[in-house]
Amino acid sequence: CCDAAKATDKQAGRLKKFLNFVGLAVDTEGKFLHDMRRTDNLPDLLKCCDEHLLGARAGETYPDEPHRGLIARPTRETQQGCGL
């Protein structure tokens, strides 16, 4: 019971690290990044991904470069220092 919950929380944490970088190209306002970073568990994270990446946007091609002004690691980078 508890070990399974810890495993999914750990999996969600790993996915969020990856999504911090992928999410820079999802939308110009950073709404996906904002919502994704506030999820607490794997089901909520997957729901957030479904809302922002699937549905009407499922066939959309995302840019190769990040949108200007968005930061992948806000606690480690600043807009002045990262050159985005």
pLDDT of residue 19: 95
Q: Is the pLDDT of residue 81 over 90?
A: no
How many domains, in total, are found in the chain?
1
**Domain hosting residue 35, numbered range:** 1-84
How many other CB atoms are found less than 10 A from the CB of residue 36? 23
Enter the pTM of the model: 0.78
- Of 70, 63, 62, 65, nearest to 30 by C-alpha is 70
Question: 3 vs 61, which has greater pLDDT?
Answer: 61
pLDDT 10s digits, 30-78? 999 999 999 999 999 999 999 999 988 889 898 899 989 888 877 766 6
Q: If pLDDT is split at 50, 70 and 90, which confidence band does 27 have?
A: very high
Predicted local distance difference test score (pLDDT) of residue 72? 84
Please name the amino acid found at residue 58: A
